[in-house]
Amino acid sequence: MPAPRVRFAPAPTGYLHVGSARSALFNWLYARSTGGTFVLRIEDTNAELAKPEFYAAITDPLEWLGIDWDEGPYYQSERTQLYLDAIDRLLASGQAYHCDCSREAIDERNRAAKRSGYDGFCRDRGIDAGADTVVRFRTPDDGQTLVADLVRGDVLFENAELEDFVIRRSNGSPVFLVANAVDDADMGITHAVRGEDLLNTTPKVLLLWRALELGPEPTYAHLPLLVGADRKKLSKRKDSVALSDFRDEGFLPEAMVNYLALLGWSTGDDQEILSVDELIARFDLADVNKAPAFFDMTKLEHINGLYLRALTPSEFAARAMPYVTAADVPWAAADFDPARFEAFVPLIQEKVSKLSEVPGAVDFLFVADPPFDDASWEKVMVKGPQPAELLDGAAEVLADCEWSTDAVKDAVFAMGEGLGVNKSKTQAPVRVALTGRTVGPPLFDAIANHFTREETLRRIARARAAL
């Protein structure tokens, strides 16, 4: 059996949809696991989609995910003549015909006849091409077309249910069905792996394929759709669907790939965290599910957190760098200190599930007077026990204790104990004074290793004054 040749054939829409990314991934995994070839083909048969600025919106996210292609990208807009020639052949053999029916006329006849679709009105009128004519494919009136699907098994379509669909628009451009058949044949595609939303178009492509005598047909595999909270196909309006948004939010590409692979596919055992190499080794189209899968952001974040924590601190710092040097960061760019940030990373690495959370976790390092969070202040400085005594006590013991994590910790806790306050309540005012919040990194490690005695005392005094 020859090595498989698969393709990812997106229509350029200005961004890469996560569902499309999943299709691309499954194709790519199949190619990589079988020693096959992965072809990238841009389906821009519609002139509105044939815009160069849309192409990078597809290739950039693919590259980010680590999905590389062996051939292409091929652009259907550059191969139009091939499709037009195919249509001419169908015309010449009588398998296609010109039609000048307007949408209104078709609808009117359908209303009268209580049916739908195109009624074949122009089938035998023998009209010539004109300004407003389209070319329609003459579908068989009887018989069935079988789609042998690797995921769904045999799917049978009654040819009589298929209307004589348009294959060339009145503006002269071919529709994707023709391009699809011609290109899959021309590029030697052996497996067409795509979303289930295309299942209904498959018999049309197959009919064209046979009418054009294009040779051996590809095997199909229709993947279950990705759905949103409403169980409907993920849509740009309601859901977060652009892959670039996930990158901007701070999801790691390897986590994204891992999660995407788990949507509609599983290993068969209990392993869920898989490297790309493991995915390649274990992936099989035969193990793909049939039912739609909900895109669960919570689980994605969990998996991303696992990958984030598995990074070495310096890797983490490097990958977080774009987020702490972005324009909307809560400190003045000049106050940012990369070395200080990197040193601090181990204290916050296990607390974030997305890189976009990093700036908010280290802001007090680069803001001299971090704002006091209202809820935190209320909880600790208003309703908490003896805030003034605790701050004064902390200032006193920190003024001359040894500057190490344990020494600082012991000194502060001993001071709190003397006031009859437990550890949790003792550290709270100091934490708020230093960071502005009740939630944050291990406090005494942060103080002893990342702040000077002077700065620590200054912040405590600042909070004390604000009481």
Partner RNA sequence: GCCCCGUUCGUCUAGUGGCCUAGGACGCCACCCUCUCAAGGUGGUAACACGGGUUCAAAUCCCGUACGGGGUACCA
Tell me which stretch binds RNA (CB under 7 A): 205-213, 287-295, 317-325, 367-375: 287-295
* Cβ density class 402-425: b for 16+ within 10 Å, e for less: eeeeeebbebbbebbeeeebeeeb
- Any idea what the Cα angle at residue 445 is, between residues 442 and 451, rounded to 5°? 115
For RNA, the binding residue among 14, 108, 116, 322 (CB under 7 A) is: 116
Q: Is 441 helix (H, G, I), strand (E, B) or coil?
A: coil
383 part of the interface to RNA, by CB under 7 A: no
Among residues 51, 111, 309, 340, which is the contact residue for RNA, using CB under 7 A?
A: 309
- In the bound state with RNA, the residue whose beta carbon lies nearer, of 176 and 327, is 176
Minimum CB distance to RNA smaller for 312 or for 325: 312
**Residue 197 touching RNA (CB under 7 A):** yes
Query: At 299, which helix (H) or strand (E)?
Result: helix 297-310
**Contact yes or no for 160/142 (Cβ under 8 A):** yes
Distance in Å, CB of 333 to RNA, minimum: 27
**Judged by CB, which is closer to RNA: 92, or 291?**
291
Minimum distance from CB of 2 to RNA (Å)? 25
State in angstroms the smallest separation of the CB of 224 from RNA: 6
Whether 51 is catalytic: no
Helix (H, G, I), strand (E, B) or coil at 421: coil
Catalytic one of 236, 238, 290, 423:
236
- Rounded to a whole number of angstroms, the minimum distance from the CB of residue 467 to RNA is 20
Other residues' Cβ atoms within 10 Å of the Cβ of residue 444: 21
Q: Which residue, 118, 208, 221, is CA-closest to 161?
A: 118
78 versus 335: smaller Cβ distance to RNA: 78
Tokens coding 124: 């035998």
Question: Rounded to 5 degrees, what are φ and ψ at 7?
Answer: -140, 150
CA–CA distance, 237 with 424 (Å, rounded to integer): 45
Site for RNA in 61-100 (CB under 7 A): none
Q: Which position among 438, 449, 457, 461 is part of the footprint of RNA (CB under 7 A)?
A: 438
Q: How far apart are CA 322 and CA 300, in angstroms?
A: 21
CA distances from 238 to 105, 159, 233, 235, 306 (A): 36, 36, 10, 6, 27
Any contact of residue 138 with RNA (CB under 7 A)? no
The reply to whether 439 sits near RNA by the rule CB under 7 A is: yes
Beta strands per DSSP E along 67-111: 71-75, 96-99
- Does 263 help bind RNA (rule: CB under 7 A)? yes
| Closest listed residue to residue 83, CA positions, set 46, 56, 138 | 46
- The DSSP output letter for 215 is -
Segment near RNA (CB under 7 A), from 90-98, 209-217, 230-238, 395-403? 230-238
Of the listed pieces 39-47, 53-61, 207-215, 317-325, which binds RNA according to CB under 7 A? 39-47
Please, which of residues 141-170 interact with RNA by CB under 7 A? 152-153, 155-158, 161, 163, 165-166, 169-170
Stretch near RNA under the rule CB under 7 A, chosen from 25-33, 250-258, 261-269, 321-329: 261-269
- Helix (H) / strand (E) containing 82: helix 80-92
Residues in the interface with RNA (CB under 7 A) total: 82
Q: Kindly state the smallest distance separating residue 440's Cβ from RNA, in Å.
A: 5
The residues carrying an active-site annotation are 236
